[in-house]
Structure 1
Amino acid sequence: MINNWLADMRIWAVCLIAYCAACTSAVACVLPGTPASLIGILFEHVPTDIDAPVVIEATIYDATDNVSYAHDSTFSTITLMNARVDRVIKGSIDPKYLKILAYTSSCAHVGVGRGIVLGTLRDDPQRGIMLEAVQMADMRGWSKEFFAKHVAIHDDSKCFKNNFGARECRLPGIGPESTQP
């Protein structure tokens, strides 16, 4: 019998390298403390270094992960959020409630919360007007108070898996069906 342990080691090494190369970007998103793991769509203050056509202060009360979205003849996976527009800072938005989308292929932390959201309006034939959010908010720059507010909002939200297996989070008492102002 010929000893092929060296050939087997090479095969395992190549497989390990291929696996690590495929997962490096995904691992960078989930490892705590890495810069990519601390990016979101909610800003504490209006950033001066990012130019966007629409800037709003919003309360995101509903978020659904892994929604299929057709854009420019391609399908992407997004997180679709429903938000109450608390204040329009830049741009013209008529509705008090707005859908916000963020592509899930990035490392952005998205979901229920309250803060400044920047982006570009998109008119989707099925979902109506939506705000495509800029995913550059560095959560390391958040104040302790702003961070504590988001921890409280996250703790108040109710998260579950829907019938399609996608994760949904809802903030009770806010939204068009709610009687709260």
Structure 2
Amino acid sequence: MIRDKIDKILNSLPEEELENVYWSLIFIQEDYIYKQNLREKGVFIELVNEAEDIIDLWEKTFAQNISEELKEEINYDQFKWHIFSYEKKECLKKEIARKAFDNLSKEEFYVMYQGSPIVFLYTNASKVISRDFDMQQDIYIFDKNFTWTYVHTHESMCGPYFYQINCN
């Protein structure tokens, strides 16, 4: 029944609008595949109430010692991960970053996206690997103790990045 409604809408649209519909459907499909993959791994995803505090703490932890002038110079406000792409924080990159993330013991962690005021908590997440985030853009994954962060960007030549706080 719903397919009939969708078909009716599609048939009413001019040809030049169908490309917009196509790309919207691709986005919906990729989001469905992403979430379905996590569900199959037994991951639970919940919205975190104190998102603003967590985002601030990510910045205070992982962008510490980066001056406001330097942040402006590297367009930090546009993409927080510029601290890694501009090599202002020494981190692991590409396949080495993936392996570091994959090898972590990670029962639960936070997930946030660039420019979004929302933070998610992923639990029962021990089977999650870096490849699970390959279709995500500008996603920041980090543990509840803020000792490490893994970032997958929207640019194929940038990242992914893995940064771990020295716990000496």
> Could you say which TM-score interval applies, normalised by the shorter chain?
under 0.3
Structure with the largest fraction of strand: 1
Q: Which has the larger radius of gyration?
A: 1
